[in-house]
Structure 1
Amino acid sequence: MTSVLAYGSEWWFAAAASLFAGMVDAIVGGGGLILVPALFSLYPQVPPATLFGTNKAAAVWGTAWAAQRYARHVELPWRSLFVAAAAAGLGSFAGAWGVTQVPADGLRRVLPFVLAGLLVYTLAKKDLGREHAPRHRGRREMLWASAIGGAIGFYDGFFGPGTGSFFVFLFVRVLGYDFLHASASAKLLNTATNLTALGAFALTGHVAWPLALLMALANVAGSLLGTHLALRHGAGFVRRAFIAVVAALIAKTAYDAFLR
């Protein structure tokens, strides 16, 4: 592991970024929008794969912790979601393989426009995600949830930015969940995609484990705060957080695609 990642003051900045990212991610997803740029800024000499792997090694704990916290307070269709999580994990693995075969440059330029459309739709539909009224039951719900898991899981492995937001939006729009139930469901699927990606990074030696451990502890602390806020303030609060995160994602992905 490169000596640049040895213990230093940068670790505490990374931990602070991880705490804030864990809070945002627990509420609505999008923690990577905070943590990944922070790592790239703190460690410009480190290979990107190592920074991505270290990010996953920290973030997966916060996401998993948020999933179990939501599970204790929000009633969810666990049978459908476990199948969907398996589909998301397989999709993420396929996406990670796909990105080694096909460049993602085209998707990088399209993504800001896709996110902008998602944001405009959410703002136009003022009641979207405020009421929890599932449209499907049983096997039909499982099939739709698995389709969402596989598709967005593939995207996460192939490219990644906004994965949590896409999960939340599709659970609201396709399955009829409110934003709180959608965010809770997204945590389980996002845990599966993060674990798959982490496995790939770990097997190739692209994780700085000591730094990742400190960041993981901070990420779990942020996750505790984020889930507390979401559960206390409900679907309306999560909807507002979703709009803010998607707007930030549009700015970040547009800058990466056209200005950098």
Structure 2
Amino acid sequence: MSAVASVDLASQVVLVTGGARGLGAALSRAFAGQGARVVANYRRSRDAALALQREFGADRVLPVQADVTDPAQVAAMIAQARVHFGAPVTTVVNNALVDFVFDGDARPSGAEIGWERFAAQFEGSVRGALNTVQAAVPGMREAGFGRVVNIGTNLFQNPVVPYHDYTASKAALLSLTRTLAADLGPDGITVNMVSGGLLRTTDASAATPEAVFDLIAASTPLRRVTTPAEFADAVLFFASPWSRAVTGQNLVVDGGLVKD
């Protein structure tokens, strides 16, 4: 078994799926701010992705439209990134969220929800992550280094709002995180998950009433709701040299609300 390689953030080519808006934009900015070259993937948010490129420059941010549920589009995106940056993608952050809004008042109950909602979330969270990892692994093996960070949720430890479809798909993604960690570890590739609670504020959480934010803040040791920028800090850790011996883990970043 080879030793796990350490590569500083500025030397990495990072793919952030759903990387143009909300939490994804915070993740893209965090990596670009550390000098990494970032592929800001988007499906519909072209203007936001181009704004990120203008902010950091074309040598640092490459906007690429691709549906992560389509393996052909993902493979083309990985190839485009390599040509643009002259190096393979070494870090993948699976953040893309398929058409989901955090609105507890509008969610269907367990007695009403249809399987099609589960299928859509599994397509985005699990199939999308599998597609990106499978497309990126050859380049990671070539580089002798790889980092995969999957974005999860604290709701499967603390289902205060039972978003059945979203939570089930993220629980499955945690299982995939751990099996991939065991499978890819000998190649020097680590696979981890960072799980948050409700973030203040992203496009997905914009429908959440202010009273809910206040209730969550009052329940956390820090007495505030985690921001996307704070969440991104933890993702940087898992891509950094300081996490070189950490794999198959799920770190909950929610101000201490949930004890994993």
TM over 0.5: no
TM-score, normalised on structure 1? 0.29
Higher strand share: 2
Higher helix share: 1
TM-score, normalised on structure 2? 0.29
Where relative contact order (Cα < 8 A, 6+ residues apart) is larger, the structure is: 1
